[in-house]
Chain A
């Protein structure tokens, strides 16, 4: 019998090289000031939206549960990481924590924000995931709103005034944000293409049958939900340190919908689709600025057109694979599976 499972070194190396090339190109253009602050800001939003969309795709696309509270998890990550970095910044001069390299502080803060969001994901997931479909959508929607209202009224989050003068780490450590985005995507890709990913997709396809072949549905649902929450929290952290001002209105219901739109447009169940859609839907409104008043109209029309002609989203469940495309161009047949493609499309 032919051996079909083997380490696709070629694809791995190819994608790693691509990721590095894009990084070099981006940072080169930034230091040569080809990319100004405005464009750099848009690229940062692209990073954030990629992490958000890819993580939401795990619950919505792969697990098949519609969740409308992603902005809620994002805000938990944003506030908690911002409070942490602000706390360290406001410490008296020369204290130990301040002497640490800011990259480390930033990284720990993002991790902290992500973990806290994941804990909330767990807390919400355990009761909420007993429901499915529209009921789950409503519950997660309600949860997102609760978070927003709580944030608006807590003292530690600055109440309705919001949180101000957050250190601007995201813009400063642009490269770090880039690599965090790449890592998030790689994490999801590896997760989905494993026995755990198969179990998650089996639940989407038929939860009665998955339970009947020995998949612990509740475990996987809650796990997927909190992993998605973790990455939403990380994205929120990057967002907080990019905006430098947080108001509770930043994370309202519309924000959750925006992420859902990216996932649906890219194709539910396609990671590369989410990436492409995140880029398109972040850049498009900015590119359409010259249309001024008609901007949102054009944006909506673009969405409607895609949904009419390709209801499964731009990519459906297809994953873009650089290795396969190169193999096709050179007319070689590959036995390698579509692995690790993220570098190729950014």
Chain B
């Protein structure tokens, strides 16, 4: 798997003012791998996500997607290269319908121009019909096709999380970054989420990087785990290795 990593970053670091939020962060994720990123609150997990998706420009280090350097790329350009993400505090297009939320994410793969849209040329109808079909299919994978026409803000919490994942998948990514997908979920919803994640891996053949605080979830589904504290990696390994690592236990218990 290390031969052809989907996502690779070396010596990634960012400084805010005088604060080194992240430093010397290395990561390499292979095809179809599921990696967990854990660490105490404020350790810099979300900052790493923001670096990897181009929201922040790293002050040091480079990110490679499929071997291509992502230096100075904007978030929407990186999406084109095959990275997608969800957010810790759900960010849906609340007053758009569920279907439109997904359709927006298909936009980057669509071609018809502004004038073609205004004149409703055949290419408009062809592409719109195609995207409508694709979006409904995607929703069907998540068993959400019945809600296609309701507004995103009216969905129950667990469904909103799912919709956000569906929307990210609509960009046709090679790697998906999930930022605390189980936050605020009850055990039933978490179980459903785990099922969703395994469906995604089966159906879409993508790699996943996951931030999560729910240890039972992380330990049961991740193949590898990276632990960070104060913006630095303190441990790497399989769930079994991490569970026994003293540094990790120390960081979490404050010992």
A interface with B by C-beta (< 8 Å): 1, 3-7, 187, 190-191, 194-199, 201-202, 205-206, 208-217, 223, 317
Contacts and interface: CB of A to CB of B under 8 A. Distances in A.
A212 B75 contact: yes
Interface residues of B, number: 44
A6 B118 CA distance: 16
B76 interface: yes
Interface string B103-132: 111111010101001111000110111011
Contacts of A210: 93, 104
21 contacts: A3-B129, A5-B125, A5-B129, A5-B132, A190-B117, A190-B118, A191-B118, A195-B117, A199-B107, A201-B96, A202-B104, A205-B92, A206-B91, A209-B93, A213-B84, A213-B168, A214-B76, A214-B105, A215-B76, A215-B104, A317-B95
User: Main secondary structure on chain A at its contact with chain B?
Assistant: helix
4 shortest interchain CB distances as A-B pairs: A194-B117, A214-B108, A214-B79, A205-B93
Given A1-B133, A199-B107, A213 B117 contact: no
Contacts of A191: 114, 117-118
A209 B167 CA distance: 10
A265 B26 CA distance: 54
Contacts of B35: none
B117 A199 contact: no
Nearest to A206: B91
A209 B87 contact: yes
B167 A213 contact: yes
Nearest to A194: B117
Interface of B: 53, 55, 74-76, 79-80, 84-85, 87, 91-96, 100, 103-108, 110, 112, 114, 117-120, 124-125, 127-129, 131-133, 136-137, 167-168, 170-171
A208 B91 contact: yes
A206 B117 contact: no
A6 B94 CA distance: 26
Contact of A202 (B93, B112, B133): B93
Nearest to A217: B76
B87 A196 contact: no
Q: Chain B: interface secondary structure?
A: helix
Nearest to B130: A5
A206 B94 CA distance: 8
A126 to B, nearest CB: 15
B96 A205 contact: yes
A198 B132 CA distance: 13
Contacts of B103: 195, 198
A205, A206, A213 interface centre (most CB from chain B within 10 Å) = A213
Interface centre among A5, A6, A191, A199 (most CB of B within 10 A): A5
Contacts of B131: 195
Contact of B91 (A3, A194, A209, A214): A209
A216 B114 contact: no
B171 A213 contact: yes
A7 B168 CA distance: 29
A208 B46 CA distance: 14
Given A1-B136, A213-B79, A198 B129 contact: no
A154 to B, nearest CB: 33
Given A190-B117, A213-B104, A205 B74 contact: no
Nearest to B114: A196
A211 B75 CA distance: 6
A120 B52 CA distance: 36
A33 B28 CA distance: 79
Contacts of A208: 55, 87, 91
